Amino acid sequence: MNKEIATPQRTKAVLEKYGFSFKKSLGQNFLIDSNIIRNIVASAGLTGNSGAIEIGPGIGSLTEQLAKTAEKVVAFEIDDRLLPILEDTLSPYQNVNIIHSDVLKADVKAVIKDNFPNGQDIMVVANLPYYVTTPILMKLIEEKLPIRGIVCMIQKEVADRIAASPSTKEYGSLSIATQYYAKAETVFIVPSTVFVPKPNVDSAVLRLTMREKPLVDVIDEEFFFTVVRASFAQRRKTLLNNLTHNLFSKNQKPLVEEALASAEIDPKRRGESLSIEEFARMSDALYKRLK
């Protein structure tokens, strides 16, 4: 039996065999620590009946451990140079389907329908490229896929922002956009030393557990997120200033003040001090008066 892929020696041998060079533009950093990979897989709570979706399998280090644990693994790989490598490294596993595609352009719902039976327990488990972490996560969350959740390795700073609580400097529109749809928690921190090439920052494993329904009820979801983004446009400004500068006109200021009063929100507060429930109240009050 081959040694596990996620060791420094095996990774080096695979890269040399194929003359593979890392593309900075694709944010490629491969994990070379099997224990960390096993911890990532354990964090996803997979069983022999689960399905797993991976994004950016690289040379198959995480894919291998997912294949040993889940019933089936589907992995999206954008870099065609990695396809023959994956065919080689994952040859012992018959339950892996590699899709050569950019996940941001893929119809993930259709892929799930084609690869997994209806109602199967499905988790997304991935070591995400830092430069596209947020767009990938938002796509997976907003498309309301039939998944239990997402366990992903991302830049620690982004994980901190996603899992942040109100009145912290990390808390912002990304925290709210994610927590509206999912429960977010940082599972563990990963040092930069367990990757090749070594990134400049530490990583964190983030677990998102999808909610059966959003955390709050709002009249208009799109408007709610627009209000949230406007409230954080300039963090040092008050809600009233941010809303009248970035979303409504100065002439609408009296209506904005009325809406905030009816939602029992002090106009002098800053966006970072509001809970998601308060944002929901405020956005509904603004919607009733200004839409």
Q: How many residues does the chain have?
A: 291
Tell me the C-alpha distance between 230 and 105, whole Å. 28
77 marked ligand binding residue: yes
Question: What totals of helices (H) and strands (E) does the chain contain, helices first?
Answer: 12, 9
Eight-class DSSP state of 65: H
The DSSP result for 129-198, as a single string, is: -GGGHHHHHHHHHHTT-S-SEEEEEEEHHHHHHHTPPTTSTT-SHHHHHHHHHEEEEEEEEE-GGGEESP
**Residue 24 backbone dihedrals phi, psi, to 5 degrees:** -60, -35
127 marked ligand binding residue: yes
31 marked ligand binding residue: yes
Tell me the C-alpha distance between 126 and 52, whole Å. 9
Helix 221-231 / helix 173-181 crossing angle, nearest 10 deg: 150
Strand partners, 196: 30
Given a contact cutoff of 8 angstroms between Cβ atoms, the answer to whether 39 and 125 are in contact is no
64 marked ligand binding residue: no
Query: Edge to edge, what strands does the sheet with 96-100 contain?
Result: 96-100, 72-77, 51-55, 122-127, 149-155, 203-210, 182-190
Q: Which tokens sit at 66? A: 């997912």
Residues that constitute the known binding site for S-adenosyl-L-methionine: 29, 31, 56, 77, 102, 127
Residues that constitute the known binding site: 29, 31, 56, 77, 102, 127
